[in-house]
Amino acid sequence: MLRLVLVGLCLGQPAAADCRLALALAVDVSRSIDAADYVIQTDGLAGALSDPEVRAAIFGPEGQVALAIYYWSGRGYQDLVQPWVILDSPEALDAAIWEVRRTPRPAAPMATALGDALSYGLDLMSDAPDCERRVIDVAGDGRNNDGITVARTYEREDFTGITVNGLAVGEHEADIVEYYHDELIRGPDAFVEVAPRQTDYPDAIRRKLLRELEGPMIGALPRRNPARG
């Protein structure tokens, strides 16, 4: 009888494979993101998560998606907008979208501490549900200029099994796309999505979410820093 009870308990619990993706969205709110840019980013991210195609990808048959969202800027500044949540219903996703829309822009925007943002994302991943893939999705428009460097963060911390993707907004720094390719992205099938201007952010984040939700594509072009990860 005890054996039957234990089997029943195991069958009643979701297996780790039920979660296919733990996705942490890291959004730049440093001083280069002015009030108008912040509105574009907020509406763009909320709109992308509301998009019918994105929602269909989230609630697909391949398994569940876990989502966390944090905003970052200067050293020591990270704001956890949405703690980890399993997106197991439209209501759970709508609640996360609401958290994005209701979060105000920081009162005193700071510098761009990209290394610190990565370190925070790594700590956040340690609390993520047990999912098949783990991805940190970093959106930003500038190089690290505060705190620990990106290279030093990767040297001293273990990102094994975690993919870091980038969304490079190219309006403020001409070489930001190359910087994201060469310094930021890391891990299995990492890639950079590009928004040439801030106004391109909504379309770019939608494309990026779809690509991350679809997972690695057979025959996809290799990333430019294949030695990393």
The domain locations on the chain are 17-173+183-214
At 216 the pLDDT is 67
> How do residues 79-113 score in pLDDT, each as one tens digit?
999 999 999 999 999 999 999 999 998 887 789 99
Q: Any idea which architecture 17-173+183-214 has in CATH?
A: 3-Layer(aba) Sandwich (3.40)
Nearest one of 194, 199, 144, 137 to 169, comparing CA atoms: 194
Sheet holding 78-86, edge to edge: 78-86, 64-72, 19-28, 133-140, 162-169, 192-195
The dihedral over CA atoms of 195, 196, 200, 202, expressed in degrees to the nearest 10, equals: 10
> Which two three-digit tokens encode residue 166?
């980038």
* Residue 48 vs residues 21, 43, 134: alpha-carbon distances, Å: 17, 8, 20
Give CA–CA dist 93/87, Å, rounded.
Answer: 6
pLDDT at 221 over 70: no
> In this predicted model, what pLDDT tens digit does every residue of 13-34 receive, in sequence order?
344 449 999 999 999 999 989 9
The residue among 195, 217, 213 whose CA lies nearest residue 205 is: 195
> What mean pLDDT do residues 30-55 have?
95
